[in-house]
Amino acid sequence: MPVRRGSGVCQISQDGRPVDDVEEQKLPYITLAEVKRHNTPDDCWMIIHGGVYDVGRLLHKHPGGSQILLKYAGMDATLPFDDVGHSMESLKYDMPAGSLKGLLHPNDRPAGKQDRLSESEAADEKDDGADCITMAHNRSHECRMVLNKVYTVALYTTIIICVSLLLYTRLTWQYKMGAQHAMVHEIRHHVEDNFASPGTHLKARDDEFGIPAWAY
Ligand code: HEM
């Protein structure tokens, strides 16, 4: 007998307990071929998380509309069901009572996919979750390692460029100064040779123009 619980309906066993556990309901296995046969608006089944549901009575009550459900008639709708963000609770409480016809036959389950409906397999799911967290952790660690390398290479490149610029500036400056010194020497000798006795008033001129001693 179906009764309302929370926002939806759940099944009650013969001794009056709510039947949440699928194993308790002794559901039959249903093959994929059988599910595929129920693919019309009047006879619409679909597989969600390993459970085979008759969604006929949900069609016109479904908040997301009937069209979207019909799109997956006779098919495994687990991925779109999850993508939209439905919770597993939704399957239990929003699905009209008696909609769960059976479990998808193990031979027809996608490899590596767990049936979330039985407890032992729910435990496996937990492990899967832990695996996912470990994988995500490892990935983020790898990402950080790669980023560290990128930052290190960028830092060394910047240092090399700065040092090269400094060296270049220093060499250019030295070259320019050398050329200036040579010019000053040349002018001085020219003036001394032609206009003055060595070292007389030119020294005064040098001081006047601020030409330092090291320039000679
Ligand atoms: C067969 C079992 C399903 C049940 C019991 C169910 C139940 C619900 C419920 C209760 C809502 C409104 C609140 C919520 O987002 O949880 C909803 C919304 C919706 N559902 Fe489903 N649904 C089922 C399957 C599907 C499937 C297979 C699809 C395909 C993509 C789907 C698409 C949607 C969409 C698009 C919305 C509207 C979401 C929004 O407007 O935010 N549903 N469904």
* Least confident segment among 23-27, 39-43, 71-75, 93-97: 23-27
Q: In this structure, what DSSP letter does residue 111 have?
A: T
Residue owning tokens 């006879």: 43
Point out the ligand 1 atom lying closest to the alpha carbon of residue 94. Answer: 5
With contact defined as beta carbons under 8 Å apart, do 206 and 216 qualify? no
Identify the pLDDT of residue 6: 36
Contacts of 22 (CB under 8 A, 6+ apart): 51, 100, 103, 117, 118
Identify the pLDDT of residue 49: 93
> What are the pocket residues of ligand 1 if the criterion is a CB atom closer than 6 Å to any ligand atom?
48, 53, 55, 58, 62-64, 68-69, 72, 77, 80-81, 84-86, 90-91, 94-95
Point out the ligand 1 atom lying closest to the alpha carbon of residue 86. Answer: 16
> CA nearest 78: which of 56, 102, 106, 109?
109
- One-letter amino acid identity for 110? P
Taking the C-alpha atoms of residue 77 and residue 45, their distance in angstroms, rounded to an integer, is 10
List the residue whose alpha carbon is closest to atom 32 of ligand 1: 64
* Least confident segment among 23-32, 56-65, 80-89: 23-32
> CA nearest 49: which of 8, 91, 19, 16?
91
Decide if the complex's ipTM is over 0.85.
Answer: yes
Between the CA of 81 and the centroid of ligand 1 the distance, in Å, is 7
Taking the C-alpha atoms of residue 39 and residue 186, their distance in angstroms, rounded to an integer, is 104
Taking the C-alpha atoms of residue 211 and residue 216, their distance in angstroms, rounded to an integer, is 9
Point out the ligand 1 atom lying closest to the alpha carbon of residue 91. Answer: 5
pLDDT tens-place string over residues 93-132: 999 999 999 999 999 988 755 445 554 454 554 445 444 4
pLDDT tens-place string over residues 52-71: 999 999 999 999 999 999 99
Identify the pLDDT of residue 2: 40
Query: Rounded to the nearest 10 degrees, what angle do helices 119-194 and 201-209 cross at?
Result: 150
Taking the C-alpha atoms of residue 173 and residue 149, their distance in angstroms, rounded to an integer, is 36
Identify the sign of the CA torsion 48, 49, 53, 55. negative
